[in-house]
Amino acid sequence: MSDHEPSSSMRTPMGRVRHLGAAHAGTKHFWHQRLTSVALVPLTIGAVILVLSLMGRNHAAVVQILGSTAVAIGLLLFVLVSAYHMWLGMQVIIEDYVHDELPKIAMLMGNTFFSCAVALTAVFAILKLSFGL
C-alpha cells in the first residue's frame, strides 16, 4: 500500500490491497497507432504498387529489384512499421472479445510472438535479397 494514500481516498479496500491503478501509459497505444498509420499511408501505396508490378516477372528480375538499395530500404520500413501497427491493432481486437484471463493473456502473447516473427522473417528475407548471402 502506498504511504501517500490519503485516508479520504475514493479507492475501495480491495483496490488498495491490489494496488493497481492507472498505468500512466494511457495515450501511448492510441498515439503509436496513429503515428504508424500516418507513416503507412505512403509506405503502403509504394509497397502495393511495387509488389504487383513484380507479378509475373522471373526470379532474377524480382531479386534484382527487391535487392536494390532504395527498394529494400522502403520495403524494410514498410514491414517494420506494419508489424508494429498490426501488433497494436490485434491487441485491441483481443482485448475487446476475449474476457477470460488465461486465454486473453495467451492470445496477447501469441500476438506478440507472431508480430515479432513476421517482422524478423521479412527483414531477414529482404536483407538476404540485398546482400545475396
Instruction: Specify the residue, 77 or 90, whose C-beta has the smaller distance to other proteins.
Output: 90
Q: Which residues bind other proteins (CB under 8 A)?
A: 34, 37-38, 40-41, 44-45, 48-49, 51-57, 59-60, 62-63, 66, 79, 82-83, 86, 89-90, 93, 118, 121-122, 124-126, 128-129
Q: Count other C-beta atoms under 10 Å from residue 48's C-beta.
A: 11
Q: How far apart are CA 68 and CA 130, in angstroms?
A: 6
Q: CA distances (Å), 105 to each of 33, 95, 118, 119, in order?
A: 21, 9, 20, 21
Q: How far apart are CA 94 and CA 126, in angstroms?
A: 30
Q: How far is the CB of 25 from other proteins (least distance, A)?
A: 19
Instruction: Specify the residue, 8 or 58, whose C-beta has the smaller distance to other proteins.
Output: 58
Q: How far is the CB of 128 from other proteins (least distance, A)?
A: 4
